[in-house]
Structure 1
């Protein structure tokens, strides 16, 4: 290693090893000439986030690319073949304050017959794309605060136990369609992907 090599290095992310990495697929369906986004309602039998509405996806496995992870999880959760999934490209990365990194991929799900794995999915939800494009999500502010442990060494920092910790604002988004509520991380990913679809005219490229 030398300075020239260092100048070309790709920056890493501090404490990246402490973050869990996930990938999701944002699937667009075409039915009777209209386009829909497909969501899943997570099974009530699941240990984490039962009953939540989300995109197909899951945790990255060792040696797996993020794109392959999104495709594999979609195949498993929706009981579809790889040939039914066309990935158009990557969405933006969502970094959760709770040590999660979620990579999204936007694409088309073809010849879908409403199949899904009952082990992971309770039901599927199809929301018209035009409806989502036309609405503004409802936004609520939440505040992230620091709570040091009881044995925190206040004597090591200026101000001691009177130190003023920074509070971090966080937007919590909600999309509502009929009786369904899409919120939290999924809503953040949805908003970003809708903006990318608009920016890159992805609607026009899928017939």
Structure 2
């Protein structure tokens, strides 16, 4: 008997860049606070990214969104590979993340989409446990309670699931 594929209805496809920038020889993840004016996930901490448009693949969408949201220019980044994805709990969006090493330190935020940009040492995520939380609807996710920032939901799950992968990819490119 063959495997019958199950169609998952209502799931949209999106992609994000997980940008890393070295500051004083230490890797930092770049996170953004989404504009509170946005329809989806307003004010939340996330990686640059968005929905995949017709006729583009996940990597194309992730890079396009990174360029639009934080103003990274061609020649200023290197895509290192795909990371572990996740699905947002409430909005049912599948997220495909890509680790991106930034070579330039120049950012131009799209104020329509991004309120703030954060540089968080990778070590902060390695030394802090992603604490499990139960949502009011019973769904379970996790959060990183950092000193000045709480990273939770899909963004926290991507980081938690991909930490060892991120470290390995960064080692390979720095070798």
TM-score (norm 1): 0.75
1:53-68 alignment to 2 at 5 Å? Answer: 53-68=45-60
CA displacement 1:14-42 (0-9 Å, x = unmatched): 135x3111000111101121110000011
Structure with the largest fraction of helix: 1
Give the secondary structure class of the aligned counterpart of 2:163: helix
Q: Answer yes or no: is 1:188 the counterpart of 2:152.
A: no
Q: Between 62-71 and 85-94, report the one with greater CA deviation.
A: 85-94
Cross-structure match for 1:45: 37
Partner Cα distance (2:136, 2:88) in 1: 14
User: Of 112, 118, 138, which aligns to 1:119?
Assistant: 112
Cα distance in 2 for residues equivalent to 1:40 and 1:196? 21
Q: How many residues align?
A: 172
Q: With CA pairs under 8 Å and 6+ residues apart, which has the higher RCO, 1 or 2?
A: 2
Alpha-carbon distance in 1 for matches of 2:107, 2:160: 24
Larger radius of gyration: 1
Instruction: Say what the alpha-carbon RMSD is for the aligned residues.
Output: 2.1
Aligned to 2:124: 131
The aligned counterpart of 2:171 is 204
Residues 12, 195 of structure 1: CA spacing in aligned structure 2 closer, same or farther, 3 A cutoff? farther
5+ long unaligned stretches in structure 2: none
Give the equivalent residue in structure 2 for 1:72.
Answer: 64
Greater alpha carbon shift after TM alignment, 119-128 vs 78-87 = 78-87
Structure 1: state its 5+ residue gaps: 1-6, 145-168
Query: Residues 68-124 of structure 1, C-alpha deviation per residue, up to 9 Å, x if partnerless?
Result: 110000000011213222111111221345432111111212212232111111110
